[in-house]
Structure 1
Amino acid sequence: MVNTMEPRYMIPTRRHITDVAVPGIYEEVKISVKTSLASAERVALTCDAWTSRATESYVTITSHHISEEWELVSHVLQTRVMHESHTGSNIAELLKTAMEEWDITGKDPAIVTDNASNMNIAAQLAGIPHVKCFAHTINLASQRALKLPSVARLLGRVRRIASFFRRSTTASHVLRQKQKLLQLPEHKLMIDVVTRWNSAFDMLQRFLEQQPAICAALLSGEVRKTEKEVCTLSEADITSAEEIVSALKPMKVATLVMSEESSPTISVVAPLHAQLIHDLQESSSDSTMTKEMKSAICLDFSKRYLDDEQKEILYMASAIDPRFKALPFLSEDKRQDIYVRVIAEAARSQQRETDADIVPLPNVEDIPVQEDISAGPSKRPRDSFTLADLLGQTYGGAVRPSHKKNTHDQAEEEMTRYKEAAPMSLAGANPLDWWKQHQSEYPLLSHLAKRYLCIPGTSVSSERVFSTAGDIITTQRSALSPEHVDEILFLNKNFKMK
């Protein structure tokens, strides 16, 4: 067809696409990404490891910063193969090399990873602040509750029922008929994944939604008696499933909130962490299983975010978010301490910027004095008495300027007005929009907002690269070299910049 349309056109070969076209576009887009990062006030990173279908181990690094227009900008920087053991020192060297390659060492980077010990060590060795992924923290706490014997047994029964209806074409057909008859959504039953706690929540929620249709299908004559006996649940089991869904619902909502990528999430971590612990306190109306679940989750939550550096980052980010600036989850003393820290850091940040902008002036003594020859010889002034002779001592001197506020006083004044302002609504609000509107009103605090609100509260952005990688490194494309995997993933996420 191409030959008929234009016989002179030479179709690019596979080798040309692989060795010339893709690398050329990659270099162009890489320059655009570096330019974007160079304008950032601060750059935050997320890092996670994954394994491809070809059993190659990769580490993906993403970056996040706030642009001059107060938009949260994210990039996938690199996806590099890692043949060495995933020790903290090896990952630290990978991080240092990446920061040097992308010229962000001087951007005061912070990193967000999962709760793995090797990631903690890597951040320490790389010398950058570390924040643990809150979505991963929720997963670990919820998994602890789902592994309780009573909960695990119920999940096994529901899983067996869902597997039966997904495996049997006859039972699946009967279920669809009953869904239509009962006017229920024609949804398939779900089966959970061991590594994702929310899949167990979704499985139970879907089971409870379709429970009338499931009972009707099992009571029909088209399902064998043996299958009915295996798939039948008692009323107590159904009640227990409802209790599990009710207990885990706050965790599900928190996970959805933290998975947002278009608005800041680091400032939400501390309020959510405190609220979840509060909501999961035992009450007298809870069943024994519900109390055990809440106790397990709270016990796991209490072990997280104990590091002083992490807590300070989370509290500072919440204080600089107009939605949570009141910090009601902290004691009065701790709240005032955070405000003092915000003021001090805002002043320091402004002072560093001022010092960087100062251009040294030449010494006055080194400047040669030139006489004004064109003016001619100077004349001796005639003796005269003027108002200056009478009042010169009092009023003739230069007017002394009033005391100029230093950066600390200015930051303190801004913080006072910021706390007195009405808080931002939680409904569909983006704190970056608020700061864009009030940037001129709070110049020092807005500068600090860009430094903290750019840090994501989760490493979800890195994990989402894995899903894209699964579409790229398929069974038919398992021979892709690591260099091409890096280039294709990079262009898939960043090509819109070009």
Structure 2
Amino acid sequence: MNVIIFYRLQRVSGEDFRKAEEFVKVTKILYTSTLCVSAERSPTLGQILPILNKLQHHFTVNKEDSSFTKTIKDTLWNDLSKRYQDGNIRQFLEEGTALDPRFKSKVTNEVWTRLEEELMKRTSEQTPTEQIEQALEESNQDDSSDEDSASATTALKRPKLSALEELFAVEDMAVEARMQTTVSSTTERIQAEINKYRLLPSTLSSVSPVTWWWDMKDTLPMLSELASRYLCVQASSTPSERTFSTAGDIISQEWA
């Protein structure tokens, strides 16, 4: 005798469809963000924090959200909020964001102060008169007079001049005077360049920041060089991993 057993199939209800739609609506931004940092063109570190801020805003719970949506938002942001919290990494990303012409308006004044200090440091390292610059900088911090600056410069002179130095003493004094003028104007030039950059309108998100800085290298030379050191860092390792994967599809061990 054959026994036929009927099973009641579990059907998808209207509530299930509603939750599925809510889930897709809430999490779609994660897919788009992943595409941004994994793109082939200009996926620089300058876009990481702006994307993270947009995710934070998106995953903020609203009073209109259902309990299901609230659970998804809380769970996702609880994980994302722990990313990039290391102090040094965070500062590096903030400075990279400031040097990205697409997102430069999204950083605080503290970031610009750090960039100014970084430019001063690099300028000091490139200048052969580092001791004179340091003496003048210290005198400016102490609000000293021009006489104090002159005495600090004089103290750095060697006590005994060689025959050649004695012969060209007047010319050397003129060179030192020009050096002092350059030193005193370095901070002003850096501040002027940063202010000029900040006053420029932000570019569209479709603009390549690397190409933009290449076009501005004559207008903003110091910032352009600094930007190249930051924006060469990729937002993720996906493009390089994709290259290795493609190479693995082309080259095999049998060819080696």
TM-score normalized by structure 2?
Answer: 0.72
CA distance in 2, matches of 1:450, 1:419: 17
Secondary structure, counterpart of 1:326 in structure 2: helix
Name the residue aligned to 2:56: 277
Secondary structure, counterpart of 1:313 in structure 2: helix
CA distance in 2, matches of 1:368, 1:470: 65
Of Structure 1 and Structure 2, the greater helix share is in 2
Name the residue aligned to 1:430: 208
CA distance in 2, matches of 1:368, 1:418: 43
TM-score normalized by structure 1?
Answer: 0.39
Name the residue aligned to 1:340: 113
After the TM superposition, which parts of structure 1 deviate over 4 Å for at least 4 consecutive aligned residues? 366-369
Q: Is the 8 A contact 1:282 1:295 kept in 2?
A: yes
Name the residue aligned to 2:153: none
Name the residue aligned to 2:136: none
Q: Is the 8 A contact 1:264 1:454 kept in 2?
A: no
CA distance in 2, matches of 1:353, 1:228: 80
Q: CA deviation at 1:466?
A: 5.1
Q: CA deviation at 1:471?
A: 2.2
Which sections of structure 2, spanning at least 5 residues, go unmatched? Answer: 1-5, 130-160, 167-173
Q: Is the 8 A contact 1:282 1:294 kept in 2?
A: yes
CA distance in 2, matches of 1:255, 1:423: 23
Q: Does 1:456 find its partner at 2:234?
A: yes
Amino acid at match of 1:245: V
Which sections of structure 1, spanning at least 5 residues, go unmatched? Answer: 1-225, 357-363, 370-397, 485-498
Q: Does 1:318 find its partner at 2:104?
A: no
Name the residue aligned to 2:126: 353
Deviation string, structure 1 residues 103-146 (Cα, Å, up to 9, x no partner)? xxxxxxxxxxxxxxxxxxxxxxxxxxxxxxxxxxxxxxxxxxxx
Amino acid at match of 1:273: L
Q: Is the 8 A contact 1:347 1:444 kept in 2?
A: no
Name the residue aligned to 1:151: none
Query: Given the superposition, is the C-alpha separation of residues 366 and 457 from structure 1 closer, same or farther in structure 2, using an over 3 Å criterion?
Result: farther
Name the residue aligned to 2:162: 365
CA distance in 1, matches of 2:95, 2:49: 10
Query: Given the superposition, is the C-alpha separation of residues 255 and 228 from structure 1 closer, same or farther in structure 2, using an over 3 Å criterion?
Result: farther
Q: CA deviation at 1:412?
A: 1.1
Q: Is the 8 A contact 1:344 1:408 kept in 2?
A: no
Q: CA deviation at 1:367?
A: 5.3
Between 1:463-472 and 1:315-324, the stretch displaced more is: 463-472
CA distance in 2, matches of 1:228, 1:366: 108
Q: Is the 8 A contact 1:319 1:339 kept in 2?
A: yes
Q: Does 1:468 find its partner at 2:246?
A: yes
CA distance in 1, matches of 2:203, 2:66: 38
Task: Calculate the aligned-residue CA RMSD, in Å.
Answer: 3.2
CA distance in 1, matches of 2:56, 2:40: 24
CA distance in 1, matches of 2:215, 2:165: 50
CA distance in 1, matches of 2:42, 2:20: 34
Q: Is the 8 A contact 1:349 1:448 kept in 2?
A: no
Q: Is the 8 A contact 2:26 2:69 kept in 1?
A: yes
Q: Does 1:304 find its partner at 2:46?
A: no
Q: 1:385-424 alignment to 2 at 5 Å? A: 403-404=181-182, 405-424=184-203
Name the residue aligned to 2:32: 253
Q: Is the 8 A contact 2:39 2:239 kept in 1?
A: no
CA distance in 2, matches of 1:339, 1:239: 47
Secondary structure, counterpart of 2:64 in structure 1: coil
Amino acid at match of 2:209: P
Residue 225 of structure 2 is aligned with which of 447, 455, 459? 447
